[in-house]
């Protein structure tokens, strides 16, 4: 019994049906972790990408080092670091929050590279025209560069969203009760692993298909030349 829900071991089908509600609770955690983690990745990644473009080397260079470090160390190491090391220094975060942060921070390194490629792809002539029209730097980014970069980066960001969904089981290592963790607990208690793990696999497939369909649809909806922002 988990979350007050009992499982039924009479037949494989009954077992599957009885544990599904438990796993759906886990799926909710998976979805929450992904959404929050991805929001962190989108925002922090943009900040990193912009800092890296600052003309001052004293800012751009350390930013590049941080991005490289985040990209080149395993998610699990970063997660354990946040979960086990930070509390020694008085920073104790709830497990889910730690997980969201780890996912978001690691993926911000990836998204920052996506943003960078998107920003670099903007035709220099666009920036020169905006300069000739005396637009401020903030205005240049907001109304000329970002609107044109967005449609170009959506597909790559979508790939990372799908990838992040598939990385969420890592959170089970720090006691977050997401889908895989719950499936494993059910397996440990019933000695039946096939059905819970199969259901978890199917639910992951469902989530990733939904996510990539949504991204594709968004990609087709947005005008290729750019999204007008006010």
Partner 1 sequence: MSPPAEPGTAPDEIIRFEKVTKRFGALTVLDDFDFHVIPGEKVTLIGPSGSGKSTVLRILMTLERFQTGRVELDGISYHESGGKGPFKASPRHLREIRTRVGMVFQSFNLFPHMTVLRNIIEAPVAVLKIPKEEAIERAIGLLDLVGLAEKKDAYPRQLSGGQQQRVAIARALAMRPRVLLFDEPTSALDPQLVGEVQSVIRDLAHEHDLTMLLVTHEMRFAREISDRVCFFDKGRVVEQGTPSDIFGAPSEKRTQEFLRSILD
CB 164 within 8 A of CB 103: yes
Return the range that interacts with partner 1 (CB under 8 A); candidates 4-12, 20-28, 161-169, 222-230. Answer: 222-230
CB 39 within 8 A of CB 46: no
> Quick check: 126 binds partner 1 (CB under 8 A)?
yes
> Which residue in the set 58, 88, 90, 123 belongs to the binding site for partner 1 (CB under 8 A)?
123
In the complex, the smallest distance separating the C-beta of residue 121 from partner 1, rounded to whole angstroms, is: 13
In the complex, the smallest distance separating the C-beta of residue 43 from partner 1, rounded to whole angstroms, is: 23
> Quick check: 134 binds partner 1 (CB under 8 A)?
yes
> Which residue in the set 63, 148, 168, 172 belongs to the binding site for partner 1 (CB under 8 A)?
148
> Which residue in the set 55, 90, 94, 125 belongs to the binding site for partner 1 (CB under 8 A)?
125
> Quick check: 72 binds partner 1 (CB under 8 A)?
no
In the complex, the smallest distance separating the C-beta of residue 140 from partner 1, rounded to whole angstroms, is: 10
> Quick check: 139 binds partner 1 (CB under 8 A)?
yes
Binding site for partner 1 (CB under 8 A): 123, 125-126, 128-137, 139, 143-144, 147-148, 223, 225-228
């Amino acid at each position: 019994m988990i979350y007050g829900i009992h499982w039924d071991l009479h037949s494989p089908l009954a077992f599957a049906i009885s544990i599904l509600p438990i796993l759906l609770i886990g799926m909710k955690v998976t979805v929450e972790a992904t959404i929050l983690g991805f929001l962190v990745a989108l925002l922090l990644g943009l900040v990193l990408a912009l800092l890296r473009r600052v003309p001052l080397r004293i800012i751009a260079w350390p930013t590049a080092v941080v991005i490289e470090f985040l990209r080149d160390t395993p998610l699990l190491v970063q997660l354990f670091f946040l979960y086990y090391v930070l509390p020694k220094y008085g920073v104790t975060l709830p497990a889910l929050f730690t997980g969201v942060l780890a996912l978001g921070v690691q993926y911000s390194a990836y998204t920052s590279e996506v943003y960078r490629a998107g920003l670099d792809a903007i035709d220099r002539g666009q920036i020169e025209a905006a300069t000739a029209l005396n637009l401020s730097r903030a205005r240049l980014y907001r109304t000329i560069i970002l609107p044109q970069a967005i449609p170009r980066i959506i597909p790559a960001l979508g790939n990372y969203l799908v990838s992040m969904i598939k990385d969420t089981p890592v959170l089970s290592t720090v006691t977050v009760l997401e889908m895989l963790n719950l499936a494993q607990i059910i397996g440990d208690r019933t000695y039946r692993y096939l059905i819970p793990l199969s259901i978890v696999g199917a639910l992951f497939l469902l989530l990733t298909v939904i996510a990539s369909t949504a991204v594709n649809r968004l990609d087709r909806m947005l005008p290729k030349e750019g999204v007008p922002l006010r």
